Amino acid sequence: MQRLFSSFQIKGLHFKNRIVMPPLASFLLDRDGTVTDKAVEHYRMRAAGGPAMIIMEACAVSREGIVSFHQARIDEDRFVEGLSKIARVIKAEGAIPAVQIHHGGRQTSVKVIGRNPLAPSPLPCPAIRGEVEALTVSGIRELVQKFGDAAVRVREAGFELLELHGAHGYLINQFLSPFSNIRQDAYGGDLEGRTRFAREVLQEVRRRLGPDFPVSFKISAQEFVPNGLTLEESIAALRILIPEGIDMVQVSAGNDATPEWICQPMFMKKACLADSARAVKKAVNIPVMSVGRINDPFIAERIIAEEKADLVCIGRGLLADPEMPKKAKEGRFDDIRTCIACNTCMESIFKKGRVECLVNPTLGREREMAVIPAKRIRKIMVVGGGPGGMDASLVAAQRGHRVDLYEKGPVLGGQLIPGSATSYKKEMLSLIRFQSKQMRRYGVRVHLNREIQLKDVLSEKPDVVIVATGSLPAVPPLEGIEHEIVCSFSSVLDGKRPPPRETVVIGGGPTGCEVAFHLSEQGCPVTVVEMLPKAGKGLEAITKKVLFEKLAANGVRFLTGCRPLRISTQGVWIKDAEDGERFLPAGRVVLATGIRPNTVLYDRIKDMGFEVYRIGDCLEPRTAKDAILEGARLGRAL
């Protein structure tokens, strides 16, 4: 870790190491963008974890520039006081306080801003759609002034570096890219015209802040869309922009049509944009930051060692474990709770309006979920070694309780074991390894191949029983379900290479889609039968986009709005609204029709006088995130 933890200088700013937390929307601010105590604590904890710099999430420079409620704002003086609280705690914890400013342009909606979004051209956002208003020259000049006003507030709030968001399909990026800019005036056309808005913003920011205040620029070096920015054109754009006052560049990718390059799912390889950063670094004479699936200090060290970048941005990795830099510096690698790129953080923002993390249940709940020593030490029996049972055991042991965990199988992990069988989900295993090692560190006694019966509970006489026995497959009442060609999804996702048979998967939810992908990757012809009008309900949106592209490339066929009728030894009879009954030949039929709670043990002991709790799928089939959160909360409550 010698290079990762070497120091660095930019315009008088001293970086104690090469780790930067890039801007990530937290949704911990009030609906109007006012800073909350939760947001301050969120940034304080990340700064205390040891990165050199924290770049606060994007602050809108104009009311119509916000992209969602709860977004940070810097368009009025009244926001400075709250922003200064964040800058102060970041600096007090030993990190450089920085902030990103931006304008959403067309990437917002009437619902959020109360008017048609502004854009360089009358082209709607491909993700949000809806009418937009093309900016006039006077409107452009007004926005340039607003960027300058925001820059002054950045300094007044106590931040020591400003980053302009010129990436990800927001307004500056919209001007830079021919994908979104079809203007024929001085702000469009060739690269000189398309960079004019960014140049004027930089000139105004420099005029207001002077030459010595550090300014970073975030760029989508590649957009991965027809007529979008390429690496070569982005380098050419940077050569035009850097003389206007850019001190550092953050090399990202993607736009509103390619979100998988903005918040990369498990499919993407780690450090997937590091080579782009290296190309930019070779072409320009200012420091370069690399971003994109850098969730491991060893990968970060290699990026610096190979001179692909001067600094590395670790975003979701610091949501998963805010102390990653400190732990890496101290050599405590087994203590790092690694981001697995499940994109739960993104999904929770859009579905719940707050950021959550599958592997870190304390994200956004830092104060309320502090681990406090138990007032009375108790004997706790945890039955079930899935993610919920493991987290409950770990937290209870951290608090001083005597914990025994019993797992009926030969390994820990529960549903995460079949859940990690598909090639793109192997990183789920890192969570199992982390929980296992941490339990042993804190003295949890783990008993494998032990299926607990009522007599075991009676003989052990625990003070508390936590039942985390998970779920059982929900078997549909189909004629022919007993035939040998029928199998469960877990038997397919058992880590073994499946025989190459034509397969019908009954159920097109997340599990059914993962089974279809796994089998199609092994060369099996696959048809998925789903009763709903669309398959993939419950999949995180970005993951779903990439997964369905790969399923289509693998030739997987989806039959939606179809109901299975019966199964024979040669296949499945189904019924759809248009064609009536038809037969699908198959050598294997996989049931992916859901799961039901396994409450057998709980039902037997709940009236025996024990203090007993259910968590995870044993309570109600949901996600690993729900199980871990329930386990973490229960472990803190005992």
Greatest Cα pair distance in the chain: 83
> 167-179: buried (b, 16+ CB within 10 Å) or exposed (e) per residue?
bbbbbbbbbbbbb
> 549-558: buried (b, 16+ CB within 10 Å) or exposed (e) per residue?
eebeebebeb
CA distance 105 to 201: 14
The closest alpha carbon to 529, from 482, 480, 471, 571, belongs to 571
Q: Catalytic: which of 170, 406, 424, 613? A: 170
Q: Is 168 helix (H, G, I), strand (E, B) or coil?
A: coil
Are 506 and 529 in contact by the 8 Å Cβ rule? The answer is: yes
CA distance readout (Å), 172 to 61, 491, 512: 12, 50, 41
Burial class (CB in 10 A: 0-12, 13-18, 19+), 239: middle
Q: Tell me the pairing of strands 464-467 and 611-614.
A: parallel
Question: CA 249, 250, 254, 259 torsion: positive or negative?
Answer: negative
State both tokens at 377: 């030490």
Examine the residue annotation and report whether 424 is marked as an active-site residue of this protein. no
> 138-149: buried (b, 16+ CB within 10 Å) or exposed (e) per residue?
eebeebbebbbb
Residue 113, amino acid: I
Helix axes 196-209, 231-241, angle to 10 degrees: 40
Tell me the catalytic residues: 170
